[in-house]
Amino acid sequence: MDAASIAEALGGKRYGKSWKACCPSHPDTNPSLSLTDKDGKTLFKCWAGCTQDEVLGALRDRGLWQPENQSIVATRKHDADYRHAKMVEAIKEADRESGRNATWTEADQKTAIEADATITGLYVKRILDVRSKPIRWLWPGRFARGKVSMIAGHPGLGKSQITVNIAATVTQGGRWPVDNTHCEPGNVLFVSAEDDVADTIRPRLEASGADLSRCDFLEATKCEEGEKRGFDLGEDIGRLDRYLEHRGDVALIVIDPITAYLGSVDSHKNAEVRGLLMRLSELAEKHSVAVIAISHFNKGKDRNAVLKTTGSVAFVAAVRSVYAVAEDPDNPERRLFLPVKNNIGPDNSGLSFTIEQVDLSGGINTSRIVWGNEPVSISADDALSPDTGDERSALDEAKDFLSAELGFGPCEANQLFAEARKAGIAERTLKRAKASLKVQSRKSGINGSWRWELPEEGQGCQSETVAPLASFDEIGPVEVII
């Protein structure tokens, strides 16, 4: 008897290639027995929790199991609910006896998942089987190992320079800017279609103090005929997997730009982009490597930074964090590194940086990133939105307001926001004015309030558009007219 014969005898119904019927081993009013045929065997599972022996026994009693004529196998070596109950019991026992490990193994979990997939065609995990684990950060709060992230911006603003700076920090096991957190050291792979490794990437790494022995550059893919071709994420994920196994301890992969390595994938089709990024994410998770993809902004006038990334919106939606590189609207010498989205960490404030020229031995001129000492509060949307005349006028008004309020000493931030509202100045405009004037934020004590103050050279002075107050000595004698 096959699955159809057993199901029909039990009053079951067909659903595609499988059947559902009431389980004969327990009082079943809602059909819980799934059956199907595969490779000459009848597979079954009771979703209500009956064990293999219980189901087989009930089928035998009804004359529906004939071992000489067929091979009926359970969907798992042990019943799912029994195995889960065993795992829970082991975990509780381990909790009671400190240091003792639970007996539920990864092999057990894979066996259970494969068994379910035989019946349903889907690979499904029970959350109870999943062990919680902390995120392993590359750059705490910004880029995580085992995840795919993105840096986007217009050409020529320093996106690639930032990845070189990040690589230098990773290979040195150095410290990250502003928050001064430590970086776990590791190897770095550059996959770059825009910068030459000899005259650009290596000199920049040297100028940034990177450990060059930990830096690799992917040149090409080897074909079966021994020839070379360009690397293709769609076709060469397996090769990249083998490289990561062979090299070992790879903490970061930089793909610059990701659109150069899509192969046949259409960058404007969400489904194709998501499929490719899912495979890349699985690779990143398997090897606990951070992947930072570089992308350009389109030429549209969208004010939303998420919509400015070239190609499908799936690029931004599928990755875990996105940072934008933009010009500082108030300082042409400075660039901004600003969060656009962050699904796994806090929405950290942005950073500022400049690019300085460096002369290396051998007459080589290159450049490197120099990070600002303070975080910046401007949003990516604001930084990427062109100012109209009215907006620029509002910024000037806010700068005059801050110069007047802080010209003779620090003020509490909450008080400044309140006074600004009374003056008709929006909070975001006040923050932009703060960044433009390089106003510093300081906290008075552990539980104290935040206070704003002008940099030292700005103390005792005000904006050029605000007339300074004169002393009585400067005024001289005053004639009073009645």
Tokens of 16: 């595609």
Q: What was the pLDDT predicted at 32?
A: 87
In CATH, the number for domain 137-381 is 3.40.50.300
- Cα separation, 296 vs 257, in Å, equals 8
Q: Residue 74: what pLDDT?
A: 43
State how far the alpha carbon of 199 is from the alpha carbons of 196, 249, 346, in Å: 6, 27, 37
Q: Give the domain ranges of the chain.
A: 3-75, 81-129, 137-381, 387-458
According to DSSP, the β-strands at 148-153 and 321-328 are parallel
Alpha helices in 178-329 (DSSP H): 202-207, 233-247, 270-287, 314-318
- State yes or no: pLDDT of 373 exceeds 50: yes
With bands split at pLDDT 50, 70 and 90, how would you rate the model's confidence at 14? Answer: confident
Structure-model confidence comparison of residues 367 and 121, the more confident one: 367
Q: Is the pLDDT of residue 76 over 50?
A: no
Do 94 and 100 contact (CB within 8 A), yes or no?
Answer: yes
Beta strand residue intervals within 163-318, DSSP E: 187-192, 215-217, 221-222, 228-229, 250-256, 290-296
CATH class entry, domain 387-458:
mainly alpha
359 pLDDT above the threshold of 80: yes
Nearest in space to 32 (alpha carbons), one of 104, 90, 87, 81? 81
Write out pLDDT tens, residues 428-457: 888 888 888 888 888 776 667 888 888 765
Least confident window among 209-218, 289-298, 392-401, 430-439: 392-401
**Is 0.85 topped by the overall pTM?**
no
Listed range (140-144, 162-166, 189-193, 419-423) with the worst mean pLDDT: 419-423
Identify the helix (H) or strand (E) that includes residue 328. Answer: strand 321-328
| Of 162, 207, 168, nearest in space to 185 by CA | 168
Q: Across the chain, what does the average pLDDT equal? A: 80
The yes-or-no verdict on residue 350 having pLDDT over 60 is yes
Would you say residue 465 has pLDDT above 70? Answer: no
Residue 158 CA to residue 325 CA, distance in Å, equals 7
